[in-house]
A = this chain, B = another copy of it.
């Protein structure tokens, strides 16, 4: 079995990839000055899930889960902010 540091490293790589794969969405929203393809229903469902993942990470004391979902939540807040601004 791997030690805790190695396990956390795997988790951090996992979170880096899944969070990184979300970035083009943010770039596309910026460039097109539109977030019409992203419904509030989708964004809020996803944000709710991310908040629960952070809670799960805290309960399980799993730093990679907390850290990478924290970054994803930050990106989501930016996208929702842009959407509110562009659609006003």
Which of B7, B17, B52 lies in contact with A45, CB distance below 8 A? B17
Q: Determine if B64 and A17 form an interchain contact, defined as CB atoms under 8 angstroms apart.
A: no
Question: Which chain B positions have C-beta within 8 A of A30?
Answer: none
Nearest B-chain residue to A19, judged by Cβ: B49
Extra pairs beyond A14-B55, A21-B45, A62-B62 (12, CB < 8 Å)? A2-B59, A7-B59, A15-B49, A17-B46, A17-B48, A17-B49, A17-B52, A18-B46, A19-B49, A21-B42, A37-B37, A56-B64
Q: Name the prevailing secondary structure of the A interface residues.
A: helix
Q: In the assembled complex, which residues on chain B have CB atoms less than 8 Å from the CB atom of A42?
A: 21, 24
Q: Which residues of B contact A14 (CB under 8 A)?
A: 49-50, 52-53, 55-56
A16 within 8 A of B: yes
